[in-house]
Chains A and B, each alone.
Chain A
Amino acid sequence: MSQAQQKEYEQLRVSGLHAFYGESHILHGIDLVVNRGELVTLLGRNGAGRSTTLKSIMNMVGRRTGSIMINGEETMSCAPHHIARLGVGYCPEHRGIFSALSVQENLTLPPVVRSGGMSLEEIYTMFPNLHERRFSQGTKLSGGEQQMLALARILRTGANMLLLDEITEGLAPVIVEKLGHVLTKLKEKGLTIVLVEQNFHFAAPLADRHYVVEHGQIVEEISANELSAKQSVLDSYLGV
Protein backbone atom coordinates (compact mmCIF):
# COMPACT_ATOMS: atom_id res chain seq x y z
CA MET A 1 0.00 0.00 0.00
CA SER A 2 2.69 2.45 1.02
CA GLN A 3 4.65 1.01 -1.89
CA ALA A 4 1.92 2.16 -4.26
CA GLN A 5 1.88 5.63 -2.71
CA GLN A 6 5.62 5.90 -2.99
CA LYS A 7 5.51 5.09 -6.70
CA GLU A 8 3.47 8.25 -7.19
CA TYR A 9 6.04 10.44 -5.47
CA GLU A 10 8.14 12.27 -8.02
CA GLN A 11 11.64 12.36 -6.61
CA LEU A 12 13.42 13.77 -9.63
CA ARG A 13 12.10 15.76 -12.57
CA VAL A 14 14.53 17.08 -15.14
CA SER A 15 13.06 19.28 -17.85
CA GLY A 16 14.61 21.07 -20.80
CA LEU A 17 18.10 20.57 -19.38
CA HIS A 18 20.96 21.99 -21.45
CA ALA A 19 24.55 21.72 -20.26
CA PHE A 20 27.79 23.23 -21.54
CA TYR A 21 31.49 22.60 -20.98
CA GLY A 22 33.09 25.84 -22.08
CA GLU A 23 32.05 26.24 -25.70
CA SER A 24 30.78 22.69 -26.17
CA HIS A 25 27.07 22.18 -25.86
CA ILE A 26 26.68 18.67 -24.37
CA LEU A 27 23.03 18.29 -23.33
CA HIS A 28 20.28 19.50 -25.67
CA GLY A 29 17.12 19.50 -23.60
CA ILE A 30 16.98 16.38 -21.40
CA ASP A 31 13.54 15.52 -19.98
CA LEU A 32 13.12 12.71 -17.49
CA VAL A 33 11.19 11.78 -14.40
CA VAL A 34 12.15 9.32 -11.66
CA ASN A 35 9.66 8.29 -9.00
CA ARG A 36 10.59 7.27 -5.49
CA GLY A 37 11.71 3.67 -5.24
CA GLU A 38 12.28 3.31 -8.97
CA LEU A 39 15.45 2.05 -10.61
CA VAL A 40 15.87 3.86 -13.91
CA THR A 41 18.77 3.46 -16.32
CA LEU A 42 20.26 5.88 -18.79
CA LEU A 43 21.42 3.84 -21.76
CA GLY A 44 23.31 5.06 -24.78
CA ARG A 45 26.63 5.16 -26.51
CA ASN A 46 29.77 6.69 -25.05
CA GLY A 47 29.62 10.47 -25.31
CA ALA A 48 25.83 10.54 -25.61
CA GLY A 49 25.57 12.72 -22.49
CA ARG A 50 24.57 10.18 -19.83
CA SER A 51 27.36 10.97 -17.35
CA THR A 52 26.91 14.68 -18.01
CA THR A 53 23.24 14.31 -17.09
CA LEU A 54 24.19 12.93 -13.66
CA LYS A 55 26.86 15.59 -13.19
CA SER A 56 24.37 18.29 -14.15
CA ILE A 57 21.96 17.03 -11.51
CA MET A 58 24.83 17.45 -9.01
CA ASN A 59 25.64 20.93 -10.41
CA MET A 60 29.12 19.77 -11.36
CA VAL A 61 29.27 21.01 -14.96
CA GLY A 62 30.18 24.42 -16.30
CA ARG A 63 26.87 25.97 -17.24
CA ARG A 64 23.29 24.65 -17.25
CA THR A 65 19.87 25.90 -18.25
CA GLY A 66 16.45 24.31 -17.75
CA SER A 67 14.98 22.86 -14.61
CA ILE A 68 15.93 20.12 -12.13
CA MET A 69 13.41 19.44 -9.38
CA ILE A 70 14.41 17.18 -6.47
CA ASN A 71 11.56 16.27 -4.11
CA GLY A 72 9.58 19.05 -5.76
CA GLU A 73 12.26 21.65 -5.06
CA GLU A 74 13.96 23.57 -7.86
CA THR A 75 17.74 23.06 -7.56
CA MET A 76 19.21 24.98 -10.47
CA SER A 77 20.62 27.66 -8.16
CA CYS A 78 21.77 25.23 -5.42
CA ALA A 79 25.46 24.65 -4.71
CA PRO A 80 26.54 20.97 -4.97
CA HIS A 81 26.76 20.55 -1.20
CA HIS A 82 23.14 21.63 -0.86
CA ILE A 83 22.06 19.13 -3.49
CA ALA A 84 23.76 16.30 -1.59
CA ARG A 85 21.88 17.40 1.51
CA LEU A 86 18.56 16.84 -0.28
CA GLY A 87 19.40 13.14 -0.02
CA VAL A 88 21.29 12.61 -3.26
CA GLY A 89 24.25 10.21 -3.28
CA TYR A 90 26.57 10.45 -6.26
CA CYS A 91 29.02 7.74 -7.34
CA PRO A 92 31.24 9.11 -10.12
CA GLU A 93 32.50 7.10 -13.08
CA HIS A 94 36.12 7.39 -11.93
CA ARG A 95 34.94 6.14 -8.50
CA GLY A 96 36.68 9.00 -6.71
CA ILE A 97 38.47 6.95 -4.06
CA PHE A 98 40.86 9.26 -2.21
CA SER A 99 44.42 7.97 -2.13
CA ALA A 100 45.39 10.10 0.87
CA LEU A 101 42.68 8.40 2.94
CA SER A 102 42.40 4.90 4.36
CA VAL A 103 39.47 2.69 3.36
CA GLN A 104 37.65 3.54 6.57
CA GLU A 105 38.36 7.26 6.20
CA ASN A 106 37.01 7.08 2.64
CA LEU A 107 33.94 5.32 3.94
CA THR A 108 33.20 7.81 6.69
CA LEU A 109 34.16 10.93 4.72
CA PRO A 110 30.75 11.92 3.29
CA PRO A 111 28.63 13.53 6.00
CA VAL A 112 25.31 11.94 6.92
CA VAL A 113 22.64 13.85 5.01
CA ARG A 114 19.49 12.04 6.16
CA SER A 115 18.61 9.61 8.89
CA GLY A 116 18.11 5.97 7.96
CA GLY A 117 21.51 5.36 6.38
CA MET A 118 23.35 2.11 6.91
CA SER A 119 25.64 1.81 9.92
CA LEU A 120 29.30 0.99 9.52
CA GLU A 121 28.57 -2.53 10.83
CA GLU A 122 25.83 -3.11 8.26
CA ILE A 123 28.13 -1.92 5.50
CA TYR A 124 30.96 -4.17 6.66
CA THR A 125 28.50 -7.09 6.76
CA MET A 126 27.45 -6.32 3.21
CA PHE A 127 31.08 -5.85 2.04
CA PRO A 128 33.32 -8.06 4.22
CA ASN A 129 36.36 -7.25 2.05
CA LEU A 130 36.17 -3.61 3.06
CA HIS A 131 36.26 -4.57 6.72
CA GLU A 132 39.33 -6.72 6.21
CA ARG A 133 41.14 -3.91 4.46
CA ARG A 134 39.74 -0.96 6.39
CA PHE A 135 43.18 0.38 7.34
CA SER A 136 44.66 0.07 3.83
CA GLN A 137 45.14 3.07 1.59
CA GLY A 138 41.93 3.57 -0.40
CA THR A 139 43.52 3.27 -3.81
CA LYS A 140 45.46 0.09 -2.89
CA LEU A 141 42.22 -1.88 -3.20
CA SER A 142 41.40 -3.88 -6.32
CA GLY A 143 39.12 -2.26 -8.89
CA GLY A 144 36.14 -4.26 -7.66
CA GLU A 145 36.80 -3.41 -4.02
CA GLN A 146 37.19 0.26 -4.92
CA GLN A 147 33.82 0.16 -6.63
CA MET A 148 32.26 -1.47 -3.57
CA LEU A 149 33.83 1.28 -1.46
CA ALA A 150 32.54 4.03 -3.74
CA LEU A 151 29.05 2.57 -3.47
CA ALA A 152 29.22 1.78 0.26
CA ARG A 153 30.38 5.33 0.97
CA ILE A 154 27.06 6.84 -0.16
CA LEU A 155 24.94 4.18 1.57
CA ARG A 156 26.17 5.32 4.97
CA THR A 157 24.97 8.89 4.41
CA GLY A 158 21.28 8.02 4.27
CA ALA A 159 20.92 9.40 0.75
CA ASN A 160 17.67 8.03 -0.67
CA MET A 161 18.39 8.76 -4.31
CA LEU A 162 21.56 7.30 -5.78
CA LEU A 163 23.14 8.49 -9.01
CA LEU A 164 25.46 5.69 -10.12
CA ASP A 165 27.77 6.23 -13.07
CA GLU A 166 29.07 3.11 -14.86
CA ILE A 167 29.59 1.06 -11.72
CA THR A 168 30.28 -2.22 -13.57
CA GLU A 169 32.84 -0.79 -15.97
CA GLY A 170 35.97 -2.91 -16.27
CA LEU A 171 35.02 -5.31 -13.47
CA ALA A 172 35.14 -9.12 -13.42
CA PRO A 173 31.80 -10.95 -13.94
CA VAL A 174 31.76 -12.24 -10.36
CA ILE A 175 32.03 -8.66 -9.02
CA VAL A 176 29.36 -7.45 -11.43
CA GLU A 177 27.09 -10.19 -10.10
CA LYS A 178 27.77 -9.06 -6.53
CA LEU A 179 26.91 -5.47 -7.47
CA GLY A 180 23.65 -6.76 -8.96
CA HIS A 181 22.75 -8.38 -5.62
CA VAL A 182 23.56 -5.17 -3.81
CA LEU A 183 21.38 -3.07 -6.11
CA THR A 184 18.50 -5.53 -5.68
CA LYS A 185 18.83 -5.18 -1.90
CA LEU A 186 18.91 -1.39 -2.12
CA LYS A 187 15.80 -1.43 -4.26
CA GLU A 188 14.05 -3.59 -1.69
CA LYS A 189 14.93 -0.95 0.89
CA GLY A 190 13.00 1.56 -1.24
CA LEU A 191 15.96 3.59 -2.53
CA THR A 192 15.60 5.49 -5.79
CA ILE A 193 18.39 4.70 -8.22
CA VAL A 194 19.47 6.33 -11.47
CA LEU A 195 21.94 4.07 -13.19
CA VAL A 196 24.16 5.05 -16.10
CA GLU A 197 25.12 1.72 -17.55
CA GLN A 198 26.99 0.35 -20.54
CA ASN A 199 26.32 -3.28 -19.63
CA PHE A 200 22.72 -3.74 -20.74
CA HIS A 201 22.60 -7.35 -19.54
CA PHE A 202 23.44 -6.13 -16.05
CA ALA A 203 20.85 -3.36 -16.10
CA ALA A 204 17.93 -5.11 -17.84
CA PRO A 205 16.76 -7.44 -15.03
CA LEU A 206 17.15 -4.73 -12.36
CA ALA A 207 15.52 -1.70 -13.93
CA ASP A 208 11.91 -0.52 -13.92
CA ARG A 209 12.44 1.79 -16.87
CA HIS A 210 15.13 2.73 -19.36
CA TYR A 211 15.85 6.05 -21.00
CA VAL A 212 17.92 6.01 -24.17
CA VAL A 213 20.18 9.05 -24.51
CA GLU A 214 21.61 10.15 -27.85
CA HIS A 215 23.27 13.44 -28.81
CA GLY A 216 22.32 14.96 -25.47
CA GLN A 217 18.62 14.18 -25.72
CA ILE A 218 16.28 11.45 -24.51
CA VAL A 219 15.26 9.62 -27.67
CA GLU A 220 13.32 6.68 -26.22
CA GLU A 221 11.69 5.65 -22.97
CA ILE A 222 11.17 1.93 -22.48
CA SER A 223 9.55 0.34 -19.46
CA ALA A 224 10.70 -3.09 -18.26
CA ASN A 225 7.65 -4.90 -19.66
CA GLU A 226 8.08 -3.36 -23.14
CA LEU A 227 11.67 -4.46 -23.31
CA SER A 228 11.26 -7.55 -25.46
CA ALA A 229 8.91 -5.78 -27.86
CA LYS A 230 11.27 -2.87 -28.35
CA GLN A 231 14.50 -4.86 -28.36
CA SER A 232 15.27 -4.10 -32.00
CA VAL A 233 14.77 -0.34 -31.50
CA LEU A 234 17.07 -0.47 -28.52
CA ASP A 235 19.70 -2.46 -30.40
CA SER A 236 19.77 0.09 -33.19
CA TYR A 237 20.34 2.93 -30.68
CA LEU A 238 22.99 1.12 -28.74
CA GLY A 239 24.65 -0.22 -31.87
CA VAL A 240 24.87 -3.79 -30.62
Chain B
Amino acid sequence: MSMIFGVPLAVLSGQLLIGVINGAFYALLSLGLAVIFGLLKIINFAHGAMYMLGAMVTVIMFDVMGVNYWVALFMAPLLVGVVGVLIEYFLLRRIAGQDHIYSLLLTFGIALLMQGVLTNIYGVSGLRYSMPDLFKGGINLGFMFLPYYRAWVIGIALVVCFGTWFMIEKTKLGAYLRAGTEDAQLMQGFGINVPLLVSLTYGFGVALAAFAGVLAAPIYSVTPVMGSHILITVFAVVVIGGMGSIGGAIITGILMGVVEGLTKTFYPPASSAVIFLVMVVVLMFRPAGLFGKEA
Protein backbone atom coordinates (compact mmCIF):
# COMPACT_ATOMS: atom_id res chain seq x y z
CA MET B 1 0.00 0.00 0.00
CA SER B 2 1.33 3.46 -0.84
CA MET B 3 2.44 5.55 2.11
CA ILE B 4 2.91 9.29 2.53
CA PHE B 5 5.18 10.33 5.42
CA GLY B 6 4.57 6.96 7.00
CA VAL B 7 0.81 7.21 6.73
CA PRO B 8 -1.23 4.99 4.38
CA LEU B 9 -2.72 7.01 1.50
CA ALA B 10 -6.21 5.73 2.24
CA VAL B 11 -6.01 7.01 5.83
CA LEU B 12 -4.64 10.37 4.72
CA SER B 13 -7.27 10.88 2.02
CA GLY B 14 -10.00 9.70 4.39
CA GLN B 15 -8.99 12.28 6.98
CA LEU B 16 -8.65 14.94 4.28
CA LEU B 17 -12.19 14.16 3.15
CA ILE B 18 -13.51 14.53 6.69
CA GLY B 19 -11.49 17.73 6.91
CA VAL B 20 -13.05 19.16 3.76
CA ILE B 21 -16.53 18.18 5.01
CA ASN B 22 -15.96 19.86 8.36
CA GLY B 23 -14.48 22.77 6.44
CA ALA B 24 -17.65 23.05 4.37
CA PHE B 25 -19.66 23.42 7.59
CA TYR B 26 -17.18 25.93 9.00
CA ALA B 27 -17.41 27.89 5.75
CA LEU B 28 -21.24 27.99 5.72
CA LEU B 29 -21.38 29.00 9.38
CA SER B 30 -18.61 31.59 9.33
CA LEU B 31 -20.07 33.03 6.12
CA GLY B 32 -23.36 33.71 7.92
CA LEU B 33 -21.51 35.22 10.88
CA ALA B 34 -19.51 37.46 8.54
CA VAL B 35 -22.63 38.65 6.69
CA ILE B 36 -24.36 39.48 9.98
CA PHE B 37 -21.31 41.16 11.48
CA GLY B 38 -20.81 43.26 8.36
CA LEU B 39 -24.15 45.03 8.45
CA LEU B 40 -25.35 44.66 12.05
CA LYS B 41 -21.94 44.93 13.75
CA ILE B 42 -22.99 42.24 16.17
CA ILE B 43 -21.28 38.98 17.01
CA ASN B 44 -24.09 36.50 16.72
CA PHE B 45 -23.68 34.06 19.60
CA ALA B 46 -27.01 32.53 18.63
CA HIS B 47 -25.46 31.25 15.39
CA GLY B 48 -24.70 27.77 16.72
CA ALA B 49 -28.23 27.53 18.09
CA MET B 50 -29.62 28.44 14.65
CA TYR B 51 -27.52 25.67 13.09
CA MET B 52 -28.88 23.29 15.72
CA LEU B 53 -32.42 24.54 15.11
CA GLY B 54 -32.02 23.82 11.39
CA ALA B 55 -31.01 20.23 12.13
CA MET B 56 -33.66 19.73 14.84
CA VAL B 57 -36.42 21.17 12.65
CA THR B 58 -35.38 18.76 9.89
CA VAL B 59 -35.63 15.78 12.18
CA ILE B 60 -38.83 16.91 13.90
CA MET B 61 -40.58 17.74 10.64
CA PHE B 62 -39.73 14.26 9.37
CA ASP B 63 -40.89 12.52 12.55
CA VAL B 64 -44.12 14.48 12.93
CA MET B 65 -45.19 15.20 9.37
CA GLY B 66 -43.01 12.94 7.29
CA VAL B 67 -41.41 15.92 5.54
CA ASN B 68 -38.55 14.57 3.43
CA TYR B 69 -34.96 15.75 3.20
CA TRP B 70 -35.38 17.77 0.01
CA VAL B 71 -38.32 19.75 1.34
CA ALA B 72 -36.48 20.28 4.63
CA LEU B 73 -33.52 21.67 2.72
CA PHE B 74 -35.75 24.63 1.80
CA MET B 75 -38.24 24.67 4.67
CA ALA B 76 -35.82 24.57 7.61
CA PRO B 77 -33.70 27.57 6.48
CA LEU B 78 -36.89 29.45 5.64
CA LEU B 79 -38.42 28.80 9.07
CA VAL B 80 -35.22 29.63 10.92
CA GLY B 81 -34.79 32.71 8.72
CA VAL B 82 -38.24 33.91 9.79
CA VAL B 83 -37.29 33.26 13.44
CA GLY B 84 -34.17 35.36 12.79
CA VAL B 85 -36.16 38.23 11.29
CA LEU B 86 -38.46 38.20 14.33
CA ILE B 87 -35.51 38.16 16.73
CA GLU B 88 -33.95 41.11 14.90
CA TYR B 89 -37.20 43.06 14.74
CA PHE B 90 -38.33 42.54 18.33
CA LEU B 91 -35.03 42.24 20.21
CA LEU B 92 -31.78 43.14 18.44
CA ARG B 93 -33.17 46.36 16.95
CA ARG B 94 -33.76 47.73 20.43
CA ILE B 95 -30.10 47.53 21.37
CA ALA B 96 -28.66 48.58 18.00
CA GLY B 97 -25.84 51.07 18.39
CA GLN B 98 -25.17 50.07 22.02
CA ASP B 99 -21.93 48.52 23.20
CA HIS B 100 -21.11 45.11 21.66
CA ILE B 101 -21.53 43.45 25.03
CA TYR B 102 -25.32 43.90 24.93
CA SER B 103 -25.83 42.10 21.64
CA LEU B 104 -23.34 39.46 22.71
CA LEU B 105 -25.25 38.77 25.93
CA LEU B 106 -28.62 38.91 24.20
CA THR B 107 -27.71 36.47 21.42
CA PHE B 108 -25.95 34.21 23.92
CA GLY B 109 -29.09 34.27 26.05
CA ILE B 110 -31.25 33.39 23.05
CA ALA B 111 -28.93 30.46 22.31
CA LEU B 112 -29.12 29.16 25.90
CA LEU B 113 -32.90 29.54 25.91
CA MET B 114 -33.34 27.56 22.70
CA GLN B 115 -30.88 24.90 23.83
CA GLY B 116 -32.54 24.65 27.23
CA VAL B 117 -36.08 24.33 25.94
CA LEU B 118 -35.16 21.73 23.32
CA THR B 119 -33.00 19.77 25.78
CA ASN B 120 -35.94 19.66 28.13
CA ILE B 121 -38.12 18.13 25.43
CA TYR B 122 -35.71 15.93 23.47
CA GLY B 123 -32.77 15.30 25.83
CA VAL B 124 -29.15 15.36 24.68
CA SER B 125 -28.66 11.76 23.59
CA GLY B 126 -29.24 12.61 19.94
CA LEU B 127 -32.09 12.14 17.51
CA ARG B 128 -31.97 9.66 14.67
CA TYR B 129 -32.28 10.88 11.11
CA SER B 130 -31.82 8.45 8.31
CA MET B 131 -29.96 9.21 5.15
CA PRO B 132 -32.14 9.84 2.07
CA ASP B 133 -32.10 6.64 -0.02
CA LEU B 134 -30.56 8.43 -2.97
CA PHE B 135 -27.37 8.99 -0.98
CA LYS B 136 -26.91 5.49 0.41
CA GLY B 137 -23.63 3.96 -0.63
CA GLY B 138 -20.67 5.55 -2.28
CA ILE B 139 -18.03 5.23 -4.92
CA ASN B 140 -14.60 3.65 -4.78
CA LEU B 141 -12.08 6.11 -6.17
CA GLY B 142 -9.27 3.58 -6.06
CA PHE B 143 -7.30 5.28 -3.32
CA MET B 144 -10.33 5.88 -1.09
CA PHE B 145 -14.05 5.28 -0.65
CA LEU B 146 -16.22 8.38 -1.18
CA PRO B 147 -19.73 8.15 0.31
CA TYR B 148 -22.24 9.88 -1.98
CA TYR B 149 -23.69 11.99 0.80
CA ARG B 150 -20.30 13.44 1.73
CA ALA B 151 -19.69 14.38 -1.90
CA TRP B 152 -23.12 16.03 -1.99
CA VAL B 153 -22.40 18.05 1.17
CA ILE B 154 -19.13 19.37 -0.23
CA GLY B 155 -20.69 20.17 -3.59
CA ILE B 156 -23.82 21.94 -2.34
CA ALA B 157 -21.91 23.83 0.36
CA LEU B 158 -19.53 25.17 -2.28
CA VAL B 159 -22.45 26.15 -4.53
CA VAL B 160 -24.22 27.99 -1.69
CA CYS B 161 -20.99 29.70 -0.57
CA PHE B 162 -20.17 30.81 -4.09
CA GLY B 163 -23.76 31.93 -4.69
CA THR B 164 -23.67 34.04 -1.54
CA TRP B 165 -20.30 35.51 -2.45
CA PHE B 166 -21.58 36.34 -5.94
CA MET B 167 -24.76 37.91 -4.58
CA ILE B 168 -22.81 40.13 -2.21
CA GLU B 169 -19.90 41.09 -4.45
CA LYS B 170 -21.57 41.33 -7.85
CA THR B 171 -25.20 42.38 -7.53
CA LYS B 172 -27.09 45.54 -6.66
CA LEU B 173 -28.51 44.03 -3.51
CA GLY B 174 -24.96 43.10 -2.54
CA ALA B 175 -23.85 46.67 -3.21
CA TYR B 176 -26.44 47.77 -0.64
CA LEU B 177 -24.97 45.31 1.85
CA ARG B 178 -21.38 46.37 1.20
CA ALA B 179 -22.27 50.05 1.39
CA GLY B 180 -24.40 49.48 4.50
CA THR B 181 -21.39 47.85 6.13
CA GLU B 182 -19.49 51.12 5.70
CA ASP B 183 -22.14 53.75 6.41
CA ALA B 184 -25.67 52.52 7.01
CA GLN B 185 -26.93 55.96 8.04
CA LEU B 186 -25.93 57.56 4.75
CA MET B 187 -27.52 54.67 2.85
CA GLN B 188 -30.76 55.39 4.64
CA GLY B 189 -30.33 59.07 3.79
CA PHE B 190 -30.36 58.01 0.13
CA GLY B 191 -33.80 56.48 0.55
CA ILE B 192 -32.87 52.86 1.17
CA ASN B 193 -34.98 51.10 3.80
CA VAL B 194 -32.03 50.12 5.98
CA PRO B 195 -34.07 48.74 8.91
CA LEU B 196 -35.71 46.26 6.53
CA LEU B 197 -32.35 45.41 4.99
CA VAL B 198 -30.95 44.73 8.47
CA SER B 199 -33.83 42.39 9.38
CA LEU B 200 -33.49 40.46 6.14
CA THR B 201 -29.71 40.25 6.48
CA TYR B 202 -29.96 38.73 9.93
CA GLY B 203 -32.64 36.36 8.66
CA PHE B 204 -30.42 35.37 5.72
CA GLY B 205 -27.36 34.87 7.92
CA VAL B 206 -29.14 32.51 10.30
CA ALA B 207 -30.86 30.76 7.37
CA LEU B 208 -27.36 29.86 6.13
CA ALA B 209 -26.65 28.35 9.55
CA ALA B 210 -29.92 26.41 9.39
CA PHE B 211 -29.00 25.17 5.91
CA ALA B 212 -25.76 23.81 7.35
CA GLY B 213 -27.89 22.22 10.06
CA VAL B 214 -30.01 20.36 7.50
CA LEU B 215 -26.87 19.12 5.74
CA ALA B 216 -25.52 17.94 9.10
CA ALA B 217 -28.66 16.04 10.15
CA PRO B 218 -27.90 12.75 8.33
CA ILE B 219 -24.20 12.57 9.31
CA TYR B 220 -23.77 14.23 12.69
CA SER B 221 -25.52 13.47 15.93
CA VAL B 222 -28.55 15.81 16.10
CA THR B 223 -28.84 17.16 19.65
CA PRO B 224 -29.85 20.49 21.18
CA VAL B 225 -26.20 21.14 22.11
CA MET B 226 -24.63 20.37 18.72
CA GLY B 227 -24.46 24.09 17.95
CA SER B 228 -22.54 25.13 21.02
CA HIS B 229 -19.83 22.57 20.23
CA ILE B 230 -19.15 23.80 16.73
CA LEU B 231 -19.64 27.52 17.42
CA ILE B 232 -16.39 28.07 19.30
CA THR B 233 -14.39 26.57 16.44
CA VAL B 234 -16.33 28.66 13.94
CA PHE B 235 -15.54 31.81 15.89
CA ALA B 236 -11.85 30.92 15.69
CA VAL B 237 -12.24 30.43 11.92
CA VAL B 238 -13.86 33.85 11.60
CA VAL B 239 -11.07 35.48 13.60
CA ILE B 240 -8.45 33.78 11.42
CA GLY B 241 -10.19 34.83 8.20
CA GLY B 242 -10.89 38.36 9.33
CA MET B 243 -14.21 39.65 10.67
CA GLY B 244 -16.55 40.81 7.94
CA SER B 245 -14.65 39.39 4.93
CA ILE B 246 -17.04 37.25 2.86
CA GLY B 247 -14.53 35.50 0.61
CA GLY B 248 -12.15 35.18 3.55
CA ALA B 249 -14.74 33.38 5.65
CA ILE B 250 -15.33 30.78 2.93
CA ILE B 251 -11.69 30.08 2.12
CA THR B 252 -10.60 30.03 5.75
CA GLY B 253 -13.47 27.69 6.68
CA ILE B 254 -12.44 25.03 4.19
CA LEU B 255 -8.73 25.58 4.88
CA MET B 256 -9.18 25.09 8.61
CA GLY B 257 -11.17 21.92 8.07
CA VAL B 258 -8.27 20.57 6.03
CA VAL B 259 -5.70 21.67 8.61
CA GLU B 260 -7.72 19.86 11.26
CA GLY B 261 -7.91 16.74 9.09
CA LEU B 262 -4.17 16.74 8.44
CA THR B 263 -3.44 17.16 12.13
CA LYS B 264 -5.72 14.21 12.91
CA THR B 265 -3.63 12.10 10.56
CA PHE B 266 -0.16 13.10 11.64
CA TYR B 267 -0.53 14.11 15.28
CA PRO B 268 -4.03 13.25 16.56
CA PRO B 269 -3.64 14.67 20.10
CA ALA B 270 -3.38 18.23 18.68
CA SER B 271 -6.35 17.94 16.32
CA SER B 272 -8.85 19.74 18.51
CA ALA B 273 -6.40 22.51 19.43
CA VAL B 274 -4.76 23.17 16.08
CA ILE B 275 -7.29 25.76 14.86
CA PHE B 276 -6.79 27.79 18.02
CA LEU B 277 -3.01 27.56 17.58
CA VAL B 278 -3.40 28.89 14.04
CA MET B 279 -5.59 31.65 15.45
CA VAL B 280 -2.92 32.68 17.95
CA VAL B 281 -0.23 32.77 15.27
CA VAL B 282 -2.40 34.71 12.83
CA LEU B 283 -3.36 37.24 15.48
CA MET B 284 0.30 37.78 16.33
CA PHE B 285 1.26 38.63 12.76
CA ARG B 286 -1.99 39.86 11.21
CA PRO B 287 -4.30 41.18 13.93
CA ALA B 288 -7.07 41.90 11.39
CA GLY B 289 -7.05 38.28 10.18
CA LEU B 290 -5.81 36.74 6.93
CA PHE B 291 -8.35 38.52 4.73
CA GLY B 292 -9.41 41.39 6.98
CA LYS B 293 -8.55 45.00 6.28
CA GLU B 294 -6.21 46.63 8.77
CA ALA B 295 -8.22 49.22 10.66
Does A133 reach chain B (CB closer than 8 Å)? no
Q: Binary interface profile of B, 173-186, with partner A (CB < 8 Å = 1, else 0)?
A: 00110110111011
Q: In the docked arrangement, what's the CA distance between A5 and B190, Å?
A: 29
Q: In the docked arrangement, what's the CA distance between A105 and B187, Å?
A: 13
Does A90 reach chain B (CB closer than 8 Å)? yes
B11 CB to nearest chain A CB (Å): 44
Interface size class of B (residues with CB under 8 A): 10 to 19
- A111 to B179, Cβ gap below 8 A? no
- B179 to A80, Cβ gap below 8 A? no
Does A60 reach chain B (CB closer than 8 Å)? yes
Q: In the docked arrangement, what's the CA distance between A152 and B178, Å?
A: 20
- B189 to A101, Cβ gap below 8 A? no
Choose from B175, B176, B191 the contact partner of A157 (Cβ within 8 Å).
B191
Contacts of A100 in B (CB 8 A): 178-179, 181-182
Q: Binary interface profile of B, 158-185, with partner A (CB < 8 Å = 1, else 0)?
A: 0000000000000010011011011101
Tally the A-B contacts, defined by beta carbons under 8 Å.
59
Given that A100-B178, A105-B175, A109-B175 are contacting pairs, would A79 and B183 also be in contact in the complex, using a CB cutoff of 8 Å?
no
A75 CB to nearest chain B CB (Å): 13
Q: In the docked arrangement, what's the CA distance between A138 and B179, Å?
A: 11
Q: In the docked arrangement, what's the CA distance between A111 and B189, Å?
A: 11
Those of A76-135 within 8 Å (CB) of chain B: 79-81, 83-85, 90, 92, 96, 98-101, 105, 108-111, 113
Does A58 reach chain B (CB closer than 8 Å)? yes
Chain B residues touching A, majority SS = helix
Contacts of A85 in B (CB 8 A): 191
Most chain A CB neighbours (cut-off 10 Å) among B185, B191, B193: B191
Given that A92-B186, A96-B183, A96-B186 are contacting pairs, would A113 and B191 also be in contact in the complex, using a CB cutoff of 8 Å?
yes
Q: In the docked arrangement, what's the CA distance between A58 and B191, Å?
A: 10
Those of B183-209 within 8 Å (CB) of chain A: 183, 185-195
- B194 to A81, Cβ gap below 8 A? yes
Contacts of B193 in A (CB 8 A): 81
A59 CB to nearest chain B CB (Å): 9
Contacts of A58 in B (CB 8 A): 189
Those of A39-86 within 8 Å (CB) of chain B: 58, 60, 79-81, 83-85
Contacts of A90 in B (CB 8 A): 186, 189-190
- A109 to B182, Cβ gap below 8 A? no
Q: In the docked arrangement, what's the CA distance between A153 and B195, Å?
A: 22
Contacts of A111 in B (CB 8 A): 190-192
- B195 to A79, Cβ gap below 8 A? yes
Contacts of B187 in A (CB 8 A): 109
- B176 to A60, Cβ gap below 8 A? no
- A98 to B189, Cβ gap below 8 A? no
- A101 to B190, Cβ gap below 8 A? no
Contacts of B183 in A (CB 8 A): 96, 98
Q: In the docked arrangement, what's the CA distance between A113 and B179, Å?
A: 18
- Hey, which bits of chain A sit against chain B, CB under 8 A? 58, 60, 79-81, 83-85, 90, 92, 96, 98-101, 105, 108-111, 113, 153-154, 157
- Hey, which bits of chain B sit against chain A, CB under 8 A? 172, 175-176, 178-179, 181-183, 185-195
